[in-house]
Structure 1
């Protein structure tokens, strides 16, 4: 039974491992948080606040943060880790809508100008962006198009006489929708639009469009806009719909790093096609997708700290005459919570790889494509897992989880927005699978039929090998070799299934697009199996670098638990393809249970290694002293001083 909760692992060492890329920026994080505290910028609880007031409070918070002078658009290129460090410092210091507003303003609006614009645009806009003199939005999504940006309908027709773009929303479905930062406070957007030049559609380009007079806040003639209404989450963000009618902006507002219209009226680009131009333009914005991995892992860490600390303090049922049992000791509890903790930690290791390789990814088209594809898969998986997990954590806290003071509702609602922001999961998985299949095609061209046959024979021998299918000794089940082999087998087998399915569809006379759509279930599975493989490999590499023996031992068990729990959850696949015998599958389940028991005494110190300002959120169930009864009483005003 769990009796002793004393930490038995160096939480500072573990903190540096979990936040590897930011460990050299700890002084920046501490300094920024001190500035926030000194300037009395506080977390605004929005439980009983109307929508308009939420938006005003959020905007006011962002104004105050910008006055501190730390957030700078240029950091996205000059020192992206420092920008991430500042964003990390904001979690639990200010409400999430304010962080989202900062990201939209600096990264989506400012970052687009940084990456797709030129020095002219940088010099003209950066100072006002950094000081929040203008408020920027990112106008890509339309009512009729979200993920399929190539088919957006908003047009910007170039007028050779006046040297202006004439912007129009030609249909109801072309209305820009969900444009953050705009309905109440936005002054500018970066507008994704079809550029029409001398009657030709040149594809999607980006233009800076002023919406309001920054002084009077009057909307300019030719623009209609309004609020998108109440949302599931992020209600501090003033999301807008926008329509344009013959609205004119000057030629210079085109972000023309990759394509330009000259003073004398020539359209020039070195990019071979509109599709290629679009791909290059979008690839510059990968930092935003990184943030949609960064945020959910922090959210889930906060949720896990709340639920697990509660589980170490809440008692229910037990033998007569003895104290009730702690709910963390029930297998139905710890066998869910601890694999969830392990999974979020390996997600953090992959997030760290993504951060570390951000700048390296821009050195070539090949690196950029691979990086963009990996980030797509990880973003989809992290967001999918975290929203499901936070809902489970709420349930595991019973009635206390229903209380808004414990933040599960707020976190679940905000995480829900992450599911489709910066790309729907099914679309992102397809992007990864297309990359994986194109890489396999290159391999096949090089290795030919001989290489293909050898790989298939190897797969057959694997499923015929009793070591893989039957061997169930605990040392082997816990080995990196077994975990990696199982994940790699699943990925390669799924890839073969996808290729076979595509070929069968092609043999029936279907076009490539029809074949692809008919194979979407398998295509998404391929991306998921690769993402799990990538996450495992990255976690195993991370552990190899750990020098502290106790920390390394605990982290090894964390990665083992992630791997075996993942195999257990997908046992149907492994049994269907004869990779596991029934006896070995049962042994894996037993190993998962044993790992949960092994890691349980370390759980609280692992939670302590995720540092955030707990007093800012003031979550009753998450307090370190584990006295949830006292803290819930304080929150709801139950008097107890005389008890």
Structure 2
């Protein structure tokens, strides 16, 4: 274990602060920061340097019209600085770096979430759809203009009447052999494309998703390139109309709007036909025979939106925690342990609880995101691009994006409250970031719907492979001790735990803090929940459709809970794997405490389940909270190091309360009162006089 002697460091705000206690472990901030940067560290550093520039920062107080104009101008700044081409083909000036592209892109959230999302619309959705769903001809025709922003564009998938259920969208593209054209139509109001970025003002082109109909057969959802506006006048082309979505709850730098089409004719060759083609005579062909598999393959190529939102949400959580913890080490409140000195906020147990538990979750989410990003790069680079790899990527993204985006909103709100009135000021960014990130939980896939997708995959793995220890790719962490449910339900396991602990809280705590003990508890919960729902749904697929749907609906809530528990397990495992890569002993010790805090917080959150299902004895259950509180004390000296390792400086935080100004104010106040007491000018507290009188002592010396 690395030891230090009264080490005092300077935090990123330039304020001296104690970082460790003599004889205690110390965190190697530089090495930890490098590990957090991950495989694409250099690209992240480049992106952070760019995001630190004032030209890209959100200007608070702008009208939505002004904000939109500024954000569009910032897209040009990104182009001029070579920040948007990494994922595009090298033959067109890109670098074929898919993982690096996402790593750099998600860092833009620290500059302005509107910029991050608008850039994502242009290059991550519109451009990527052309690249991944089109062919070389499409690439040569449109990608150069998309890359250099000559063709601002839209990703027109979502409809007013269908959001997450893309397979049921109502816009049609009907092929006419006589003219060799597709006719695009939105047959009714609910079929309008809605919430579409760049649609209200800037978009000149769009990738429109529609039901492909040829020779009287509907071949399902396909993507089509459609010109929207005259590039000179910016007026809609004939047959195309739309309207502005107006002011939103956040992300008002993006011109979201609605689009509709009435007999809009496009050439046959505007079908992005990598996975489905229509010949001149109207004959449809596809390299993927199954319509369902073809649909999910096409949508799977666009999974990068979920991957990038996962990373951006983690980045926003890091920014919030760095600001809130920095402030909490400086702000003082109440004379709890001294008649003259007020307490630092971060020394209060409750303050530690509300911030350190979220800090632990953020670390877990960060390490899990790095694994997701590696999986994404493996698939899109072609290194590991089988059907199974793509399914794993889609399911992993669907599991992690809900947790990280919900966590970001929760963290921003808790940090806001932890900073009191100062946290409510826009200048400290909590309220602004929370408003902008609010929609992250429902776009690129509604979080609840995504978890249902994960649950269905878990059920499929359960049905196919549960009897194998491996339990499929998603539940690879199942331990080999899954046994008869009766041992849990009869209380025998609880009795065994109590005997093993011999009634000792210390032994119970040791059992819970061991890595294998946490893994067993977290894994068994997922396994048990999936098995229970799987058993309840057994045979439902043989029922008539309406009856099967009713049975599934009865267990939908349990399924989603199981999917969330599984995603949490993946985060815990990612954290644990990251620990094995830490070389510095002191850092490893502190990160192990933080991992344990994350794992035990999950167990505490679901303690009723563990007790009701016989997974924990009452003795062990009572020790969870106490051990968490002991971990808080251990982590406290390292809190600043842990947030400094995130690597975000003042130019990224841009929060007045994270500049050291509060420390200056507190020092000034303490010096003032000390000087008063030293020279005898301090007024006597009335309570002190009353206390002396009640004790029969003189009131003056």
Task: Indicate yes or no: 2:425 matched with 1:403.
Answer: yes
Structure 2 counterpart of 1:523: 559
Structure 1 outlier segments of 4+, above 6 Å = 35-38, 504-510
Report if the CA contact (8 A) 2:128-2:302 is conserved. yes
- Please give the secondary structure, in 2, of the residue aligned with 1:144: coil
**TM-score (norm. length: structure 2):** 0.84
* Structure 2 residue 492 is matched with structure 1 residue 464: yes
Question: Aligned equivalents of 1:359 and 1:616: distance in 2?
Answer: 27
**Counterpart in the other structure of 1:141:** 158
Q: Which residue of 2 aligns with 1:371?
A: 393
Deviates more, 1:270-279 or 1:242-251: 270-279
What SS does structure 1 have at the residue aligned with 2:39?
helix
CA distance in 1, matches of 2:209, 2:420: 46
1:29 Cα shift?
Answer: 4.3
Gaps of 5+ in 2: 1-7, 9-15, 21-25, 470-479, 668-701
Q: In 1, distance between residues paired with 2:418 and 2:539?
A: 46
1:193 alignment counterpart: 210
Task: Classify 1:468/1:532 alpha carbon distance in 2 versus 1 (closer, same or farther; 3 Å).
Answer: farther
Q: What is the CA deviation profile of residues 433-469 of structure 1, one whole-angstrom value per residue up to 9, with x for unaligned ones?
A: 111111111125879xxxxxx9763454466334546
Sort the Cα spacing of 1:227 and 1:613 in 2 relative to 1 into closer, same or farther, 3 A. Answer: farther
Structure whose alpha-carbon radius of gyration is higher? 2
Checking the alignment, whether the CA contact within 8 Å between 2:311 and 2:369 is kept in structure 1 is yes
1:535 and 1:35 mapped to 2: Cα distance? 29
Matches of 2:122 and 2:169, distance apart in 1: 22
2: CA distance, partners of 1:427 / 1:32 = 32
1:570 aligns with 2:587: no
Q: Is the 2:177–2:280 Cα contact (8 Å) retained in structure 1?
A: no
Residues 35-65 of structure 1 deviation map (CA, whole Å, 9 limit, x = unaligned) = 6778x6241312x211111110110111121
Q: Residue deviations 1:190-237, cap 9 Å, x none?
A: 111011111211100000111012232121010001110111111000
Aligned pair 1:438/2:438, yes or no? Answer: no
Q: Is the 8 A contact 2:153 2:204 kept in 1?
A: yes
Question: Which residue of the partner structure matches residue 522 of structure 2?
Answer: 487
Counterpart position of 1:58:
71
1:239 partnered with 2:256: yes
Structure 1 residue 44 corresponds to structure 2 residue 44: no
- Is 1:74–2:88 an aligned residue pair? yes
1:534-557, Cα deviation, whole Å (9 max, x unpaired): 111221111112111111111111
Please give the secondary structure, in 2, of the residue aligned with 1:49: coil
| Other-structure match for 2:571 | 535
Query: 1:583 is matched with which residue: 587, 595, 619?
Result: 619
Offset, 1:629: 4.8
Asked if 1:306 is matched to 2:323, the reply is: yes
Tell me, in whole angstroms, the C-alpha distance in 1 between the residues paired with 2:174 and 2:414: 51
Q: Secondary structure at the match of 2:395?
A: helix
Q: Which residue matches 2:629?
A: 593
Q: Which range is displaced more, 604-613 or 226-235?
A: 604-613
Q: Which structure 1 segments of 5+ residues have no match?
A: 448-453, 632-643
The structural deviation recorded for 1:4 is 5.3
Cα drift, residue 305 of structure 1: 1.0
RMSD: 2.6
1:638 matched residue in structure 2: none
TM-superposed deviation, 1:597: 0.7
CA contact (8 A) 2:108 2:115 kept: no
**Matched residue, 2:280:** 263
Equivalent residues of 1:175, 1:242 under 8 A apart? yes
Taking the aligned partners of 1:600 and 1:363, their CA distance within structure 2 comes to 44
Does the 8 Å CA contact 2:152/2:203 hold for their aligned counterparts?
Answer: yes
Q: Secondary structure at the match of 1:60?
A: helix
2:584 to 548, 557, 576: 548
Q: Tell me the CA shift for residue 311 of structure 1.
A: 1.0
Q: How much has 1:592 moved relative to structure 2? A: 0.3
Flag the 1:608–1:249 CA change in 2: closer, same or farther, 3 A: same
Residues 167 and 244 of structure 1 are in contact (CA less than 8 Å); yes or no, is this contact kept in structure 2? yes
Q: Residue 336 of structure 1: CA displacement? A: 1.5
> How big is the shift at 1:326?
1.0
- Number of residue pairs aligned between Structure 1 and Structure 2: 619
Cα distance in 2, alignment partners of residues 341 and 59 from structure 1:
34
Asked if the contact 1:33/1:90 (under 8 Å) is kept, the reply is yes
Measured after TM superposition, the shift of residue 425 of structure 1 is 1.3
| 564-573 vs 464-473, which moves further | 464-473
For residues 301-330 of structure 1, give each alpha carbon's deviation from its aligned partner in whole angstroms, at most 9, with x where no partner exists.
111111111111111111463211111111
SS at match of 2:289: coil
Instruction: Report the secondary structure of 2:642's partner residue.
Output: helix
Is 2:240–2:261's contact at 8 Å kept on the other side of the alignment? yes
TM-score (norm: length of structure 1) = 0.91
**Closer, same or farther: CA 380–280 of 1 in aligned 2, 3 Å:** same
SS in 2 for 1:41: helix
1:169-188 CA-partner distances (Å, limit 9, x unpaired): 10110011000012111111
